[in-house]
Amino acid sequence: MRILIFLIFVCILISLVFALIFIIKDKGLLDRSLIALIIRISLSLSLFIFLLLMHKIGFI
């Protein structure tokens, strides 16, 4: 359980770093930074929902 949460958190951070790199390289002209930020938001929301469900079930 902890490993899964840690892996999702690492993926969120990696997505955030890629978004920063795309913003710097592309100067905000391409949609790559937007896609990376959308992925980060999706991962963050899924992690939040997953944690809520695990708390409701009683695993946390």
Secondary structure in 3-state letters for 36-50: HHHHHHHHHHHHHHH
Q: The pTM is what? A: 0.74
Instruction: Delimit the domains of the chain by residue range.
Output: 2-57
Question: Which tens digit of pLDDT belongs to each residue from 15-49?
Answer: 888 888 888 888 767 787 788 888 889 989 998 99
Q: What pLDDT score was predicted for residue 52?
A: 93
Q: What pLDDT score was predicted for residue 28?
A: 65
The SS3 assignment for 57 reads helix
